[in-house]
A and B are shown apart, each in its own frame.
Chain A
Amino acid sequence: MNDFWIILTASLVAINSALLGSFLVLRKMSMIGDAISHAVLPGIVVAYYFSEDKASIFLLLGATLTGVLTSLIIDFLSKKAKIQGDASIGITYTLLFAVGMIMISGWMQGNVDIDLDCVLYGDIALVNMDKVIVDGNLYVGPRAFYIEFLGFAIIGFCLWIGFKGFKLLSFNEDYARSLGIATGRWHYFLMGLVSLTTVVSFEVVGAVLVVGFLIIPAATAQLMTDKLKPMLLYACGFGILAVIIGYFTAVYFDVSITGSMVSVSTLIFLAITVLKRRKRQTKALLKSSTDLRG
């Protein structure tokens, strides 16, 4: 039963991340996802400082706003201050992360309940410690699962109603703007969702793991198809596959579960890359041989 809940919770993380990650990868903004996942740290610390509870609505709001703020700062640096795009990403997230670290060591000296390791790497093996129990004895799953499920519901709903907007934004931003769509608003909406995913997941799997799940399955899916909807499905599929294989590998070798999941995800990506290349080469070879015969 333990295994089941861990895999289920991690799969939800993978699905949430894969859905949003596909849009990030298509928009060539993967590293902004990386930046947001690091930069929510001060938001988490501030919200935690005031609410003293890891699951409060303040935490969700505070950290999500920090994520949006991150993308605002990045845009400001690259558009107004004319710093190169990737440099402005690097400057922004290192600054915010540093601020978060200083806050932790400054404010939280006596309060070790929120520590860096936990925020960054989480511990999915402990998911079952925090149970939701109904009527005193009916166990209906770990709390993290329900938080993730809430996240999934929000993201699913937003993607469902805004699918057209996100699609246009990803494939042709200029065209979208010429149609009179407020692309800026959609952009920050997407960024807000990305930070929401990071925040709901940080406790379960750690903020950094989200990056792996945001980018890797989506990039693998991009290798498989040119269409958006299949890409989203592929991305979710690869994410879940990595979760399941990663979990059992981790149990077998007795190593970190989250680490193993992302490692497996990377291996899947590399395997697909090599397979795709091999296939293309064979095709080219076949073609040249028939050409010769013809």
Chain B
Amino acid sequence: MNSFIDFISFKDPNVIYVVLGMVFINSSSVLIGTFAYLRKRSLIGDAVAHSLLPGLCLGYILAGEKDITYLFLGAFVTGWLSTYLVDYIVNKTKVKQDAAIGIVLSGFFFFFVVLLTYIQKNAAGNQGGLDHFLFGQAAAINKQEVMLFAIVCIAILLSIMIFYRWLISVSFNMDFAASMGLPVKAIEFLITSLTVLAIATGIQALGVILTAALVITPAAAARFWTHNLRWMLVLAVSISVISGIGGAYVSYIKSGMPTGPWVVLFLSLITLMSFSFSTRKGILASYLKARKNKAKILHENILKAIYQHHEQLEAEGELDYSLMSSEILKIRLFDTTELLKGLRNLKRKGFIREDNKMFSLTAEGKKESRRIVRLHRLWEQYLLKRTTIDTDHVHAGAEVIEHILSPEIERELEIELGIEGIPKEDY
């Protein structure tokens, strides 16, 4: 607990730099990543990250030392070149986007490996820690770097705020944007440049391989909670910053633990929780919904079968007979355990009552079973009268739709067909 208090009170000045660095780096990458996610181009970030490396080396060779301007310029050029190359390969050859990304990514990366060995063998002195970019060094962020990250982050934020409308239209529908007369090429240039900038900061902290997580994962997690782009941006940035600080904390309390991988681990954990528990599109939510639907369909089918049983005995006016579960099975083939479960549930809901293994409908149940049979037959009539479907095909369609017809549609069908009560014919 003490270490936690030390951490949040920034007792160690290094902690401030690391945390601030994480905030700026993660925000930059996420802002870009969200747009990349919407454009279904998440892995471009991976290619850019790998291609920055030879640029750094070239900058180093040109400057002869680790001059940050040269490094940045070199990285900017190769990073930019990589997205151009991916687009060129996809547009001009039959090679698909995934392979194009793979080619550019590994091509640039191994060009970097060649350059790195060249520098190691030919340049005087140290190679300026160029290989730190491979795995990142989040724990070693210093004051100057934090300033640089802050400038990049603010630049990205401002560009997004200024060009927000343009970015949205290009992200969601490129053709639409072009037809509106927007300067699509210029916007793409802007997006590419911002991407290169954001990833250039990202690889300093997380390294080449894990930077992709900063770009992709928060956007994917945020997508589960909202459809609104503004909220998605805010949420993704929060998720990423929290994970960043979490990673910094772990490496602070346990020396030797790398920051980057822990950041990625936290990010993935939040994503896992998002897709499990999101009320909107989460796996749990959709599973529960599917289960509820299945139960509803089962219940309605049982009630319908009971009605049909009465109809066979010409007693559909009263629906007063009691019947055994085996008699329901004669009308309609249910899975036996499913049927018993359904009957139990219906009893609990007050639609049927049980008396010595004999089931009969309550007043509520009679109403409900009439409703569902009526919907079924109204739809059959509708298909017969308004479409060209044959009599032996209308049942299947009605069997599906009866469970989801709303009272409004029921009323419309009534007016359309001029039918009241329950039609006699069953197909």
Question: Which residue numbers of A lie inside 8 Å of B, CB to CB?
Answer: 25, 28-31, 33-34, 38, 77, 80-84, 86-91, 93-95, 97-99, 101-102, 105-106, 109, 116, 120-121, 208-209, 211-212, 214-216, 218-219, 222-223, 250, 253-256, 258-263, 265-266, 269, 273, 276-277
Q: Which 7 A-B pairs have the closest CB atoms?
A: A259-B113, A266-B107, A94-B213, A262-B110, A98-B261, A212-B106, A98-B264
A15 to B89, CA, bound (A): 24
How far apart are the CA atoms of A31 and B106 in the complex, in Å?
11
Contacting residue for B102 out of A95, A215, A259, A276, CB 8 A: A215
Instruction: Tell me whether A259 and B114 are in contact in the complex, defined as CB-CB below 8 angstroms, given that A82-B281, A86-B42, A91-B268 are known contacts.
Output: yes
Chain B residue numbers with a CB within 8 Å of A212 are 106-107, 109-110
The residue among B42, B135, B217, B271 with the most chain A CB atoms within 10 A of its own CB is B42
Contact B257 A105 (CB under 8 A): yes
Q: Is the CB of B107 within 8 A of A262?
A: yes
Task: Give 19 CB contacts A-B under 8 Å.
Answer: A30-B98, A31-B43, A90-B215, A91-B216, A97-B261, A97-B264, A101-B258, A102-B258, A102-B261, A105-B256, A105-B258, A215-B99, A215-B106, A219-B102, A253-B114, A254-B118, A255-B121, A262-B106, A262-B107
Interface string of B6-44 (1 = CB under 8 A from A): 000000000000000000000000000000010011110
Contact of B111 among A84, A211, A266, A273 (CB under 8 A): A266
1/0 per residue B36-76: CB within 8 Å of A?
Answer: 01001111011000000000000000000000000000000
For B96, what are the chain A residues with a Cβ–Cβ distance below 8 Å? 25, 28, 30
Distance from A96 Cβ to chain B, minimum over Cβ atoms (Å): 9
The answer to whether A266 touches B43, judged by C-beta atoms less than 8 angstroms apart, is no
CA gap between A120 and B112 in the complex, in Å: 14
Instruction: Report if B209 contacts A (CB, 8 A).
Output: yes
Contacts of B262 in A (CB 8 A): 98, 102
- Interface of chain B, main secondary structure: helix
- Is B343 among interface residues, defined by CB-CB distance under 8 A? no
Q: Is the CB of A222 within 8 A of B264?
A: no
Would you call B117 and A256 a contact (CB within 8 A)?
Answer: yes
A93: B residues at CB distance < 8 A: 212
* Closest residue on chain B to residue A280 by CB atoms: B92
A266 touches B95 (CB 8 A): no
Chain B residues with CB under 8 Å of chain A are: 37, 40-43, 45-46, 89, 92-96, 98-103, 105-107, 109-118, 121, 134-135, 209-210, 212-213, 215-217, 219-220, 223, 256-258, 260-262, 264-265, 268, 271, 275, 281, 283
Closest A residue to B276 using CB positions: A81
Residue numbers in A under 8 Å from B257 (CB-CB): 102, 105-106
Residues in B whose Cβ lies below 8 Å from that of A256: 110, 113-114, 116-117
Measured CA separation A87–B102 after assembly (Å): 15
- Min CB distance A235 to B, Å, is 12
Q: Are B271 and A94 in contact (CB under 8 A)?
A: no
Cβ contacts under 8 Å, A276 to chain B = 93
Q: Which residues does chain B contribute within 8 Å of A77, judged by CB atoms?
A: 275
Using Cβ atoms and an 8 Å threshold, which residues of chain A touch B116?
Answer: 256, 259
Contact of A90 among B134, B217, B256 (CB under 8 A): B217
Contacts of B110 in A (CB 8 A): 209, 212, 256, 258-263, 266
Which residue, A87, A106, A223, has most C-beta atoms of chain B within 10 A? A87
- Complex CA–CA separation, A266 to B112 (angstroms): 13
Q: Which residues of B contact A89 (CB under 8 A)?
A: 43
Chain B residues with CB under 8 Å of A102's CB are 257-258, 261-262, 265
Say whether B213 contacts A255, CB under 8 Å: no
Nearest B residue to A269, CB-CB: B103
Cross-chain contact A31 with B93 (CB below 8 angstroms) = no
Chain B nearest Cβ from A63, distance in angstroms: 17
Best-buried of B102, B113, B209 by chain A (most CB within 10 Å) = B102
Smallest distance from the beta carbon of A106 to chain B beta carbons, Å? 7
Q: Which residues of A contact B103 (CB under 8 A)?
A: 215-216, 219, 266, 269
A94 to B210, CA, bound (A): 5
Q: Is A101's CB under 8 angstroms from B114's CB?
A: no
Determine if A260 and B95 form an interchain contact, defined as CB atoms under 8 angstroms apart.
no
Which residues of the partner chain A approach B105 to less than 8 Å between Cβ atoms? 34, 211
Residues of A within 8 Å of B46, CB to CB, are: 34, 90
CA distance A255 to B114 in the complex (A): 6
Query: Smallest Cβ distance from B275 to chain A, in angstroms?
Result: 4
A273 touching B101 in the complex, CB below 8 Å, given contacts A82-B281, A259-B113: no
In the complex the two chains form, what is the Cα distance from A212 to B113 in whole Å? 13
CA A81 to CA B277, docked complex, whole Å: 11
B92 partner, pick from A29, A38, A261, A273, beta carbons under 8 A: A273
Decide if B114 touches A263 in the complex (CB within 8 Å): yes
Contact of B118 among A38, A208, A214, A253 (CB under 8 A): A253
User: Shortest beta-carbon distance, A220 to chain B, in Å?
Assistant: 9
Q: Are B265 and A95 in contact (CB under 8 A)?
A: yes
In the complex, are the beta carbons of A81 and B102 less than 8 A apart? no
Closest chain-A Cβ to B87's Cβ sits at a distance in Å of 13
Task: Tell me the nearest residue of chain A to B108, going by C-beta.
Answer: A266
Closest-CB distance, B298 to chain A (whole angstroms): 24
B106 touches A90 (CB 8 A): no
Chain A residues whose C-beta falls within 8 Å of the C-beta of B260 in the assembled complex = 98, 101
Say yes or no: A91 contacts B106, CB within 8 Å. Answer: no
Q: What's the nearest-Cβ distance from chain A to residue B105, in Å?
A: 7
Smallest Cβ-Cβ distance to A29: which chain B residue: B98
Q: Which residue of A lies closest to B103 (CB)?
A: A216
